[in-house]
Chains A and B, each alone.
Chain A
Amino acid sequence: MATCKLTVVHGPDCDFQATAGQNVTLQILEVPGGGLIDFDAGTKYAGQDVPGTPSKTITFTIAAGSNDLEIVYLFSQPDNGRGELHESCDRNPFLDFIRAASKTPVYTICA
């Protein structure tokens, strides 16, 4: 299992800190009662489409500087679906909650 690349930063400017050039894989953790969730088409990082959607995981390469990860989620329960966003790595750290009420969160990754 790959080592984790993202560090969660609870600051106003950045959400995650990473090193440019590294590949990061994010995954959706579906929780009981929260329905099915997928990364949907339209998901972008640093202005580029993230390939492979719809899917439960996305992989992209960290770009230098401060860049936005624009996520579009697809919910099988559009009203009350929920889950968790994790990095897919050895520690599988929690990154954020996923809610049907917020289908398009944007995270700023600073590198």
Chain B
Amino acid sequence: MRTLLLFPLLSLTLLAPLRAQAPSVWIPEECQAILKDLDPSLPPEKLASVYDDAFKLKRSPTCYARLFVGNSGVASAGFGDFLKKLEALRTDKQAGASTGAGGGTNLASKGTTAKVLSVAAEYGALTETVNQQVVTVQGSLDAPFAALVRKNLISYCLETSKDSKGCAGEAFYSALRRFSYGVSFNTNPNNQTVNGTASGQPNGAAQPVTFTASGKEVTAWNARFVLWNARDNVSKDFQSKWDAALKSTGTATPSSGGSAGGKGAAGGGGAGGGAAAGKGAAKPAPDTTSADGSVTSTTQLTSAAKALIKPLEDLIASAQIPQPDFDKWHNDSVSALKAVDLKNTDAVSRVWRQRVDLYLAMVQNNNPKVNEAAIAFIQAMSLYDFEQRAFVEAIETKPVATFEYTNNRPLGQASTSNFRLIFDKGFKNGLSLTANGAGTVYNSALPQNIPGVSRFRDAQFALQVQKDLGTVALLGAAALSATYYFQYQNSPAVLNVSPGSLPSGITFTGLPADATQVFATKGDIHVGQIRLVLSPGQSSVRFPLAISYSNRTELIPKPTWKAQLGISYDFDSLFTKQ
């Protein structure tokens, strides 16, 4: 009983300071940020500056624009255009099939994929015996969300105006960003076969036949969820990337002022071989593309920044009142606020709001259309805010741990489910480490007459070290990686066969006519791979070239050398360009 009574008392005690801090009148967050600076302990010249910020629209246009528009949600109207150019700015996107899809060049999966869309065509095999040709399409869930926002079906709200209603904010958008998907298609011309079986009685030379088709065009699909993102916006490495990315606009100068810390070593490695910004420092370009296809774009940011000026000037012009009226209001307002005990934040808010309401009324009487100018400015500011976040996120966010589920549907084999944990870690000097741990199970039980058969098919481990080579003459951005892959084969690989429909690329000798499944001797697989990824010029095309050596494949218990090659196109960068 005593506990029951104490709890509400304790809650009230804890919540009391919070309630005391909340202003009794509605004040947009942009304006609250100014009022918070009315600190009586400030030197006089700084305090005087805050008074000016509080009572001059020019000094604080976002605050005043929000006041004009109010908290009605009207600011979200017509926002469809501002949430555009949602693209992958991360430094470690995987384009291409995940391990085990057959035909892929990736021995180790990376944590993140393209945001909007990437398409990769690859040829080869890693643990499989027969080379395959696979096209993989990948994307993230935030792209459809962005499309809905652009079409005005969903409104996006400024993060500094979370109190706005009826709009989705950065938190929701960030959550969607964690999810990605991929679908791999088998594009081999003979991946589908049609079998004819005689049915009914022959009619002379004519024979009725029942045709059945077998084949799987979707060879795998996967879903990914980023479990843990590392955010870094304070390290020297981040500062270096910030400077390098801004420098890539072509007119910037490196950071020189500031007391937040010195400049770090150039080019930190992003997860999965990033450091796109670091490479940008070596050779500035409007959009900096790394070997793994990541793009750090400043083009959109620059456009959004420049687009702010016209609405800003329009807002200032629309809010003009006769100079004597403004002078009087300004001087009276500063005097009124100076008369308030600045430690009494509630009184400060109340007096400030009363004075500002007078100004808003004067402006709206003078020019009723000022609200339209305010909306236009907020729209432009929202776009700039969005692009700024995208730019910052591209530099600061690195996926560290990702979970991936892959449903493999290989032709002529039982379908499997693969559960994979992906760990990415970037280091300095363009080095990055990627580790994978995975397990595969058969999606359905296999015949028990196969020796050693089990639903648990295999366990995998892969370790990849990648070195970002920067920009190489003639070849463009390049990255070199070395990967070791181990597969513990718990259950033998099983092929589904029928006399009329054998798996592509495999022939059998002495196979009984009634055999429907064949299995190979199981054994652990060790694969080593050297992989070079080229991204010529400023293009979004990547060419992965790889050579691998394995002690055996899933079917053949003999060492083998294999080559893998591919081409991928990252549509994200297409969306970033004008």
Contact = CB atoms under 8 A, between A and B. Distances in A.
A29 interface: yes
Interface string A94-109: 1111011111111110
B316 interface: yes
A79 to B, nearest CB: 6
B52 A105 contact: no
B430 to A, nearest CB: 22
B565 interface: no
Contacts of A13: 323, 327
Given A52-B251, A101-B33, A30 B62 contact: no
Interface stretch (B18-26, B382-390, B526-534, B545-553): B382-390
Given A30-B260, A38-B246, A72-B308, A95 B381 contact: no
A5 interface: no
Interface of A: 8, 10, 12-13, 15, 27-32, 34-38, 40-42, 44, 51-57, 68, 70, 72, 74-79, 83, 88, 94-97, 99-108
13 contacts: A30-B259, A32-B259, A37-B258, A40-B302, A42-B305, A74-B246, A76-B396, A77-B392, A78-B392, A96-B53, A101-B62, A102-B61, A108-B58
A54 B252 contact: yes
B388 A30 contact: no
Contacts of A15: 52, 56, 59
B91 to A, nearest CB: 17
Given A29-B257, A36-B242, A101 B49 contact: no
Contacts of B519: none
Contact of A94 (B33, B49, B58, B63): B49
B66 to A, nearest CB: 10
Going nearest first, the 8 A-B pairs with the smallest beta carbon separation are A30-B258, A101-B33, A12-B330, A106-B58, A42-B305, A30-B260, A101-B30, A56-B257
B352 to A, nearest CB: 15
Q: Secondary structure at chain B's binding surface: helix, strand, loop or mixed? A: helix
A68 B315 CA distance: 14
Contacts of B233: 35-36, 76-77
Contacts of B45: 8, 94
Contacts of B246: 38, 54-55, 74
A16 to B, nearest CB: 11
B578 to A, nearest CB: 14
B282 interface: no
B449 interface: no
A106 B309 CA distance: 10
B306 interface: yes
A105 B34 CA distance: 12
A99 B385 CA distance: 13
B276 to A, nearest CB: 17
B341 interface: no
Interface centre among A15, A68, A96, A103 (most CB of B within 10 A): A103
Contacts of B260: 30-32, 34-36
B217 interface: no
Interface string B559-578: 00000000000000000000
B48 interface: yes
A100 B36 CA distance: 13
B331 interface: yes
Nearest to A101: B33
Nearest to B311: A104
Contacts of B312: 70, 104, 106
B257 A28 contact: yes
Contacts of B46: 94, 97
Nearest to A69: B58
Contacts of B366: none
